[in-house]
Structures are given as structure tokens and as C-alpha cells.
Amino acid sequence: MALPGGVSSTRRIGFAYNPTKEDAVELSERAAGWCARRGIESWAVAAGDTPVLLAALPAVDILVVLGGDGTFLRAARAVAETRVAMVGVNLGKVGFLSKAEAHELEDLLEKIDDGRYHIEERMALRGSIRGENGNAPPRSFIALNDVVIARGALARVVHLDVEIGPSHLATYVADGLIVASPTGSTGYSFSAGGPILDPVSRNLIVTPIAAYLSALGSVVVNPNQVVRCRIVEALEALVSVDGHEDFPVTVGD
């Protein structure tokens, strides 16, 4: 939320960046220099180093992500566990999730320092993978964009039994299934035929990928519902979280 009168309460800013990109490293150094001149404490951490980010985030007022959408999504996994606000500075090709470009960095930091900003609440997804027999502990994760259950490298469809809350939705023979947030509605779900939602709305979008002989397309679901997808038949399958973390799964999971 914007602070009244433009009064700043910013005392410490964190920066998450892509260490594999030279321009992101240079931008993090530029940002650190700006903060030092303003007397604002700062630190910079690789966006994918979730444990370090989680440990450092409680002490900052805001996290600035330097990179493309992939870098933003990696940092979001840590931010989702906190109440820290985050904003992206784009260094990638598109930057749908960013609010500024690299040449606008100092202007963005000036606005943060002056309190000239507002906070948008975005819905995230919490998922878990459970084995058929329940012997192994579930693997849990958080996604900002989407969770995809899909076939692996083999070009063979998977059979997926999908439930929404207490109701059976469909048994798909398809390349996979996407469960997206409103933020992720412009991504993979949209390319598979799903609708675009206002990013600050609260809904789940369930979209099959290339479903065979299915008249049922994308479904928009109340956020309080639980979407369950059981793998009925597959030679190879995986769960992909925000397109950056993959978990192999088997029949019955």
C-alpha cells in the first residue's frame, strides 16, 4: 500500500538476481551502490538459493528481483512463505511479471524509498504429491504461475483422473493437465486454451493439454476447492512446478 504523504519507511532492501547473467550481476552491483549512497542497507542473493533467501527475507522491507520471469518465479518460492513485498526489474526477453526495465532501476528504487507504490495481493498455489500406498511422505511445494502434470520425454499420452472437491470432473487421455493461478493464466494454460483472468482475482484454472476426444475444456474453480489429479496410466510422467522444478511421478500418484 502507498504510504501517506510519500514518507519512506524503507530501511533495508533485498535483491535477488540471476548469477548466470553478467548483466544481472552488474545490475545488482549498481543497485547496491545506489542504496549505499542513500544510507539504505542492502544485500544480494541468487534467486534460486531458496534457503538463503528465506533466512534473509524477514529483515527486509521489500525484495527487488533482477532478471526475467524465470528469476522472478524462483524468488517467489521463497517470498510465498513470508509477507515481504517483491517487485521485478526485467532483464529477460519478455518480463510479464516485472514492473520496470533495467534502465529504470534507479527510478524504481527512488519510488520505493519515497513510498510511492502500492501492493497487489497475488494468489499462489500450494500442492503436494502423494504416493498411491501412502507409505512415503508427501512432497509439497508452492507455485506462483502453475502446476503441470504431464507426460515425460516419451511421446505417449497419460490417463488422468481429475476431481474438484468432492466431484469427479473427468478422466482425460491427454498430454497432461495444468492447474494455474490467475497470475499464470497468461502462460501455459492460455496456450492450451484456458481463459485469461485478472491477476488479482482468486480462482484456480484447470486446463487439459491436448485431450483426446474430450468435449470438456478449461474449468475455472473456486480457490477454496482442492483439485486432485491421479495418474491412472502412463509410461512416464512428471509434475512441473512453475516450469522450473520437476518431480517424477508414477501410476497411482
Give pLDDT, residue 110: 94
pLDDT 10s digit of each residue in the chain, 253 long?
333 334 456 689 999 999 988 999 999 999 999 999 999 999 999 998 989 999 999 889 999 999 988 899 989 988 888 889 999 999 867 667 888 999 999 999 999 999 898 999 999 999 999 987 766 788 899 999 999 999 987 778 999 999 999 999 999 999 999 999 999 999 999 999 999 999 999 999 999 999 998 878 899 999 999 999 999 999 999 999 998 889 999 999 9
CB atoms within 10 A of CB 180: 29
| CA pair distance 26, 20, nearest whole angstrom | 11
| CA pair distance 116, 34, nearest whole angstrom | 17
Handedness of CA 150, 53, 58, 23 (dihedral sign): negative
SS (H, E, C) 50-75: HHHHHHHHHHCCEEEEEECHHHHHHH
Give pLDDT, residue 153: 79
Task: Answer whether 0.75 is exceeded by the pTM.
Answer: yes
Give pLDDT, residue 4: 37
Give pLDDT, residue 78: 87
Q: Rounded to the nearest 5°, which phi and psi values hold at 73?
A: -65, -35
Q: Among candidates 112, 120, 116, which has minimal Cα distance to 12?
A: 112
Catalytic residues: 69
H-helix or E-strand containing 106? Answer: helix 105-114
Residue 85: CB partners within 8 Å, gap ≥ 6?
A: 61, 62, 63, 119
Give pLDDT, residue 7: 43
Give pLDDT, residue 9: 60
Print burial letters for 207-241: b (CB count within 10 Å at least 16), e (below 16): bbbebeeeeeebbbbeeeeebebbbeebeebbbbb
Give pLDDT, residue 156: 87
